[in-house]
């Protein structure tokens, strides 16, 4: 029997509805959640992504600010723009859209963001909090979205074998840190595979929960999956397809057709993990705004997940 699909669009829609309700509560209490996105240059894909974030903010009632800087911007100028947003009480979340031009040190820019406004979850302070299990930091949006998706799909994680293919700072490493934590959505035995892993299939076939974020189209095939496993495909790869209107189509890091015949649950590409990232970005922004309300001595009922 083919695996059941995990509908990331529907899960993300539910989260965004929760965010909109919490935003309305905060606005009534005098705090209007605000997200600032900095875009440097004219990268078309980045521009589309920034517009989608702005639209999502508008739909949730979140105040959004876009700071668009020229491609010639220096690292010092970008850090200066971040500093202005750090000091702005109307901004509760700051995101610097990647990639940045070559002349800018991305790590230095990330470190310049106030950790309390780092809703992308990449500042070393937030990374450290995640690793030691503190709950008051921000978790990178894609791993947080995957964990939320597993929870809302009724997947039991405690005691399960979780295998993650990919060790990036954006997905693989924080995903491993989340799934190993002593929480109801964690408590897994975690294996992280990478490009140097020998006999990848021997590891993936042990997984009760398999999360693939390797950046290689159809790397994992059905014969590499344990029968009944939950498969989360983070990949987003363009491959040639003469039948598609643009001559290409999107596929994941998992060979969907063969994997679906073996797994019990699986995310499609597109429509799986992708929609969760922006939903979790909005959730982190509202959490940040709610914390300022709580710090002022007001009731913190509006906190989301904190």
pLDDT in tens, the chain (306 residues): 899 999 999 999 999 999 999 999 999 999 999 999 999 999 998 999 999 999 999 999 999 999 999 999 999 999 999 999 999 999 999 999 999 999 999 999 999 999 999 999 999 999 999 999 999 999 999 999 999 999 999 999 999 999 999 999 999 999 999 999 999 999 999 999 999 999 999 999 999 999 999 999 999 999 999 999 999 999 999 988 888 888 888 999 999 999 999 999 999 999 999 999 999 999 999 999 999 876 655 544 445 544
Going 252 to 255 to 260 to 265, the CA torsion angle's sign is negative
The residue extents of the domains of the chain are 30-115, 141-275
Q: Which CATH class is domain 141-275?
A: alpha beta
- Quick check: 194 and 213 in contact, CB under 8 A? no
Q: Which residues pair with 230 in a beta bridge?
A: 209, 265
CA dist 210 and 275 (Å) reads: 19
Q: What are phi and psi of 27, to 5 degrees?
A: -60, -40
User: Is 141-275 the same fold as 30-115?
Assistant: yes
Q: What are phi and psi of 203, to 5 degrees?
A: -85, -45
CA dist 175 and 24 (Å) reads: 31
The CATH code that applies to domain 30-115 is 3.40.50.10860
* Residues with catalytic function: 53, 97, 120
């Amino acid at each position: 029997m083919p695996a059941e699909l995990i509908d990331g669009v529907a899960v993300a829609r539910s989260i965004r509805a929760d965010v909109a309700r919490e935003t309305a509560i905060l606005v009534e209490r005098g705090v209007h959640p605000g997200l600032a996105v900095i875009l440097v240059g004219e990268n078309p894909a980045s521009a589309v992504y920034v517009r989608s974030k702005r639209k999502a903010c508008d739909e949730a009632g979140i105040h959004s600010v876009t700071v668009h800087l020229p491609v010639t911007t220096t690292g010092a100028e970008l850090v200066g723009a971040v500093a202005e947003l750090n000091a702005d009480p109307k901004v509760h979340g700051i995101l610097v859209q990647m990639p940045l031009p070559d002349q800018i040190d991305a790590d230095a820019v990330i470190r310049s963001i106030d950790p309390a406004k780092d809703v992308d979850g990449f500042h070393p302070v937030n990374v450290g909090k995640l690793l030691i299990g503190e709950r008051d930091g921000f978790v990178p949006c894609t791993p947080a979205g995957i964990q939320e998706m597993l929870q809302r799909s009724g997947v039991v994680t405690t005691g399960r074998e979780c295998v993650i293919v990919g060790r990036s700072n954006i997905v693989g490493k924080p995903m491993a840190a989340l799934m190993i934590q002593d929480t109801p959505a964690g408590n897994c035995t975690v294996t992280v595979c990478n490009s140097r892993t020998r006999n990848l299939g021997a590891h993936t076939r042990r997984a009760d929960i398999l999360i693939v974020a390797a950046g290689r189209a159809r790397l994992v095939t059905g014969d590499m999956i344990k029968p009944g496993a939950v498969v989360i495909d983070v990949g987003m790869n363009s491959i040639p397809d003469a039948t598609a209107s643009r001559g290409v189509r999107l596929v994941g890091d998992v060979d969907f057709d063969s994997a679906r015949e073996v797994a019990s649950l699986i995310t499609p590409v597109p429509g799986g993990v992708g929609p969760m990232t922006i939903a979790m970005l909005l959730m982190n922004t509202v959490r940040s705004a709610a914390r300022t309300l709580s710090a002022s001595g007001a009731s913190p009922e509006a906190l989301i997940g904190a």
